[in-house]
Amino acid sequence: MSTDSLDDLLKEERIFPPSSDFQQKANFKDASIYEKALSDPESYWSDWAKKLDWFEPWKEVLKWNPPHAEWFVGGKINACYNCVDRHAANPDRKNKKAIIFEGEQGEVRTLTYEELLKEVSRFANVLKNLGVGKGDRIAIYMPMVPEVMIACLASARIGAVHNVVFGGFSAESLADRIQDSSAKVLITGDYGWRRGKKILLKKAADESLDTCPTIENVIVLGREGKSSEDCQMKEGRDHWWHDLIQDVNDVCAPEPMDAEDMLFVLYTSGTTGKPKGIVHTTGGYLTGVYATTQWVFDLKEDDIFWCTADIGWVTGHSYVTYGPLANGATVLIYEGSPDWPEKSRFWEMVEKHKVSIFYTAPTAIRAFMKWGTEWIDKTDLSSLRLLGSVGEPINPEAWMWYHKNIGKENCPIVDTWWQTETGAIMITPLPGVVTTKPGSATKAFPGISATVLNEQGEEITSGGGYVAINKPWPSMLRTILNDDERFKEQYWSKWDGIYFPGDGVKRDEDGDFWFLGRVDDVMNISGHRLGTAEVESALVDHQKVAESAVVSKPHEIKGEGIVAFVTLKEGQEASDALKDELKQHVVKKIGAIARPEEILFSVDLPKTRSGKIMRRLLKDIALGKALGDTTTLADPNVVAELKEKYEGKEG
C-alpha cells in the first residue's frame, strides 16, 4: 500500500444544515461568494480592506514574491484606531461596552469604547514617555485582565511591536522570547489568579531579567493599586502602572503605519525545538481577522462575544482583541479556570453576562464531558446562539455533546482550523450557508485557496493527505523573526510556492475537510498511515471515555503499534475488561488495523497551557526515553505520574 497519503478509515455521516430561522437572520447567506472570491481573490480581499479606516489608500493590492507577500502596498493604517477610535467617535457605539471583565475572584469591570480610548491613549503616552517609539519591541507578561488588551492596543497605537508571552510560562521561556525579540520594555503584573492561587508574575519576570540586557524599563500592574507584598521593585528600572498613568494626557494621536509594518511577533509554544517568532504585519492581518470575525461568528451589534483563549495565544490576539474590536463588538474576558470554584463557572458566566457567541477548545469541551451535565443543568444557557471550536481537531462525539448539552440543539457549531502562522481562520463553516458535520471543519473561508496534496504535491480530491494553501492570503505570517531561512525551510520547502501547514487531513466526497492531526503525529501501522485524531475519536466515542491520546511505538510485525492513553469520565472505573472493550470498540469504528496494542488509563493527559495534548511526551513515555522539555506544560506532574505508571507495566 502507498504511504504517500493518509488512510481515511473513520466514517461520520451525521449532517446539520443551517436552520431556516438562523439562515434567514444570518449576516451572510450567498454561497456563490466561494467561487467569486477564488476567481478574483485580490478584488475580494480589497473589498474587505476598504471596510477598515485607512489614512492613505494602497497603491497595489498584492506583491507576491514566493514565499514573501506584501498586501495593500503603500497603504497607511493603524490597528488601534480601527479597533477603538472609530467606534468611540460613533454616537451609536461610544457608550457601548467594549470589554466586560470577570476576575477569578468574582470582580467585574466594564469599559465602553469611549472609556477604552482614554485608557489606551493614556498608556500609549506612558510608553512614549519611557522612550518607546515606532518599531520598538515590547514584551507583555500579564494575567488576563483588561490592561493586557490596553497594553497591546497602546503598543499598536504608537507603532511599537508587541510580543505577548503567556502568563503561565516559566521565567526561562519568558527570557528566550525577550532575548529573541530584543524587547526594551516589559509590562507585567504583580500577580494573577489561577484556581484560587496567586501566580506571582513579577517574581518570575525578575528571574528572567537577569539574562535580558535589552530591557530598560519594567511596568508593573498592581492588582490592588500599588503593593509590594507580592513583588520586589528595582529602583530606576521598575515602575508601578498606577504611578506612571497618573496625570497623563488621555489624548494620543495614532501613528500612521505602513500596511506591511510589523504589528506583533508571537512565539509558538516551543513544544518542539527553539520557539519561532511568528511575524504579523498590520494591514493584512487586520483585514483577515476583521473579515473572519464578522462572517464566521455571524456577529451582530448586540452580541456578547466570549472567546475563552488567553491573550498569550494567537486566538487571544485574533478573536479576543483585534477581530472583535475592529468590528465594534462587546467582548467578555475571564482570567481564571473553568472549574473554579465549581465546575459550573463557565456556564454561570454565560448566564450572568448573557453570552451569545461562545468559542472554546476541544480540550475544554472534553473536560466538560468528563465532569458530566449536572454542572450545566444548574444554569440558563438560552442566550447562546452560536458555538465555536478552535485549537485542534474536535472529535465527533465531543462535537455532538457540545451541540446537545451546550447548544441545546439550537446553535450552529463553527469548527475552525487555523494556526499562529495563518493569523486568522482558514477553514470553517459559514453558519448561515454551510451544512456542518461533526468533526469536520468543512470548507475554506472565502478567499482562501486550500487543497489536499500527497507527498509528491499531487491533488487528492477524495481521501487522506496533507492540507496545503496554494495562494497567498492577507493575514499570513511574513517571516520568522531573525530567521528567514527557517521560515522558508519550515513552511515553503515541501512544495514550490505552496504553504505547508504540517497537518494531515482527509477530504470527503463533498470536498469537506476533516483534520487528522499534525503530520509528525501520523502512525504507520502495517503500511497504513493513520492520523492520531481518527483513533482518538473512536475511543472517545465510547460512552465511558472523556479524552484520549494515541501514539505509536515500534512493533515487530506491524512496523508500528498503537499505544492509547485514556481518561475516563467521572464515576467510571478502569479495568482490564474495559481495556478489551475499548480495543474492540476501535475495531468496530475503524477496523482491526487501528486496534490499540496497549491502553493506559490516566487521570489527565499532558497538555500545553493552551490545551494542546503533548503527544511527543507521550511517545517518549511509550518508548521509555528520557522526557523532553516539559516547561510549556500546564501540569508537569502529569507526565511524571504517567511515566511511572507506564514503566510499572500497567499498560
* Strands in 282-428 per DSSP E: 304-307, 330-334, 357-360, 386-389, 413-415
Output the pLDDT for position 626: 66
Spatial contact of 617 and 629, defined as CB atoms under 8 Å apart: no
| Grid cell of 571 as nine digits | 464515576
Helix axes 615-623, 637-647, angle to 10 degrees: 30
Task: Write down the pLDDT at residue 7.
Answer: 62
What are the structural domains of the chain?
20-505 (3.40.50.12780), 522-647 (3.30.300.30)
Alpha-carbon gap, residue 588 to 340, rounded angstroms = 38
Asked if 102 and 334 touch (Cβ cutoff 8 Å), the reply is yes
Convert the pLDDT of each residue in 391-434 to its tens digit. Answer: 888 989 999 999 999 999 999 999 999 999 999 999 999 999 99
Residue 412's pLDDT is 98
pLDDT of residue 4: 56
Regions in the chain scoring below 50 on pLDDT:
1-3, 270-272, 650-651
pLDDT at 32 (0 to 100) = 95
Q: Are 43 and 58 in contact (CB under 8 A)?
A: no
CB 326 within 8 A of CB 286: yes
Query: What's the rounded Cα separation, in Å, for the pair 244 and 253?
Result: 19
- pLDDT at residue 168 in the model: 78
Q: Which three cell numbers stand for residue 376?
A: 450545566
Tell me, what's the pLDDT at 9? 58
